[in-house]
Amino acid sequence: MNIKLPNRLTLLRVALSPIYLALLVLRSNSGEAAAEILRISAVIVLAAAITSDALDGYLARKLKQTSELGVFLDPIADKLLVLPPLIWLTHIRAASPWVVIIIIARELTVSALRLLASSKGVALAAGLSGKVKTVAEYLLLAILTFTLGADRASPILAWICAALAVLSASEYFYNNRALLAKWFSGDEAEKRA
């Protein structure tokens, strides 16, 4: 099976996500000397995952290697990298549960919209606010990886991420209001009947 380079980078991000999470969990449960090694390891793994995210889309467009697999896998890889660590950081009280609830709710609703659009043959591209949200989430993960929430910037940045999550979800739904209106009005059901 010939998997194109952009998809390999996306699969790399999927593979790095549980490793990053494991390093965070081990770090929070270890002694000081081991914690430092685990922190550095987590930073390296997170940096590699973020780099793969930046490169996969760029290379797919540059090499003209966009694919259905890539369109499907890329958002899943993003969620696998961001959501489990945020949930863990909530568990150790390094992130607000409300922030994580808002971010998860955004991911679920936008995924549902993407699924609906896909069933109609429409591919939804990420808007600018969605890209800014992802960068902010990566920055939050980087700060939390260094500090485990023992700093003043993390709670503020976490709430900024939550606000960006709401903004980007609003952008997705606003930009696709015609599709939603058609779906909710029952026009699609009438056409099939």
Tens digit of pLDDT for each residue in 100-140?
A: 999 999 999 998 888 888 777 777 777 788 889 999 999 99
Beta-carbon count within 10 A of 127 CB: 16
17: pLDDT strictly greater than 70: yes
Per-residue model confidence (pLDDT) at position 166: 96
Residue 175 Cα distances to 32, 76, 106, 182, angstroms: 49, 21, 15, 14
Q: Which residue has the tokens 């969990």?
A: 25
- Tell me if the pTM is above 0.75: yes
Mean pLDDT of the chain: 86
Mean per-residue pLDDT for 85-101? 87
**By the 8 A CB rule, do 167 and 46 touch?**
no
Domains and CATH numbers, the chain: 5-188 (1.20.120.1760)
Predicted confidence (pLDDT) per residue in 155-181, tens digit? 888 899 999 999 999 998 888 888 788
Per-residue model confidence (pLDDT) at position 46: 96
**By the 8 A CB rule, do 50 and 71 touch?**
no
Predicted confidence (pLDDT) per residue in 18-62, tens digit? 999 999 889 888 888 888 899 999 999 999 999 999 898 888 888
Residue 38 Cα distances to 23, 59, 86, angstroms: 6, 31, 17
Give the range with max mean pLDDT: 77-81, 115-119, 124-128, 182-186.
77-81
Largest CA distance in the chain: 67
Beta-carbon count within 10 A of 174 CB: 10
